[in-house]
Amino acid sequence: MDLDYWWLLVIPVAFALGWMAARYDLKTLLSESANLPRSYFRGLNFLLNEQPDQAIDAFIEVVKLDPETIELHFALGNLFRRRGETDRAIRVHQNLLSRADLPVKERDHALFELGQDFLKAGLLDRAEETFRSLQTGDHALGAQRSLMTIYEIEKDWNKSIDTARRLETMGAASLEKEVAQFHCELAQEALQQQKPDEARRQITLALKANPQNVRATILSGDVAAAAGEQKTAIAQWRKVEEQNPAYLPLVAEKLMKAYAALGQQEEGANLLTTWVDRYPTNDLLDVAYQHVAALRGPDAAHALARTQMQKSPTLAGMTRLLEAQQATAEEPRRSELDLMRTLIKQRTKNLPRYTCQNCGFRARLFYWQCPGCSGWETYAPRRIEPMAAAS
């Protein structure tokens, strides 16, 4: 095979080109570094030495000398805010806003970042004032979203509704789910203040915004029950099965109280056992078991618990089954069953009941709005399976 000697020239040529490129890049870097103000390097040095206040002063001087370094201020402010040093973030962004020559676009950006600083620091009044000043521009939509967050924190539901509607007109995705929940919050407040007419009005508005809002249906039953209209309350709560059966545990005990007020406990127990059979959950089983045991005796409760354990075995169901067996057992079998039930209850009592499907925040109580991420309707209304949670 003939050897193409000209390939031997490729290696030295490539090396020469690489050396020339490196020299050019080095010259460019040195040139750019020479043009940077000395304050820039002093600021970096202060920052690396954990002296943020001195770093801020140095970077402020940089911006005065070189207006092109505005982005440096934004990066520095965001860094401080993420670290929880909101006072320093506020100082950085306020310094930017003090510049008379700051372009309108950059001023809006600085205002938005300053509002985020105030919000992170819990200065809600100052954050609201800042965001309200951003009615137009690239940050107007984000400012309105932040305003809605502020109003939710303050539980100012009327302003939350107005802001949500404004967001929709500005092109944001539909916020009907959130608006319905805001109306439900107002209905809840009216119910607590014994204003049934206002509660009904807010419930109607909630269902108009979101006809599938289960909370509004539950509240409608609550208003009827508070007025002594037990049959109407039962009819409203039974609608939950059509809307979303997963929420039935939230109305199970309410239903039994209403049936008891009417003297129809057996009808209520029949309904609960039907639901347990159709939609087996630990919460439904707990309510049904207690009432079946009280109305029909331990044997009926035992049969209910055994049937559910065969269909859907859980540690919570096992606790109920052992309790039912213990009620009819004799010594020493009763003591053994009590020991087993106690061990299982100790194993499961500290497990959280509900988990946010959005952020994973766990809580023992059910929330319509997650305390962790502030999302609405992110909790599945059922307890975590203990064995799954443990694993």
Known binding-site residues equal 356, 359, 370, 373
CB contact at 8 A, 97 and 110:
yes
C-alpha 21: how far from its chain's center?
Answer: 52
Q: What would the two tokens of residue 384 be?
A: 């975590």
CB contact at 8 A, 243 and 217:
yes
Q: What would the two tokens of residue 221 be?
A: 């039953």
Residue 212: closest CA among 251, 181, 243, 247: 243
Coil, helix or strand at residue 101: coil
Pairwise CA distance, residues 9 & 26, whole Å: 26
Backbone φ, ψ for residue 354 (5° rounding): -125, 150
Q: What would the two tokens of residue 22 be?
A: 């490196």
Is beta strand 354-355 parallel, antiparallel or unpaired with respect to 362-363?
Answer: antiparallel
Binding annotation for Fe cation:
356, 359, 370, 373
SS (H, E, C) 13-73: HHHHHHHHHHHHHHHHHHHHHHHCCHHHHHHHHHHHCCCHHHHHHHHHHHHHHCHHHHHHH
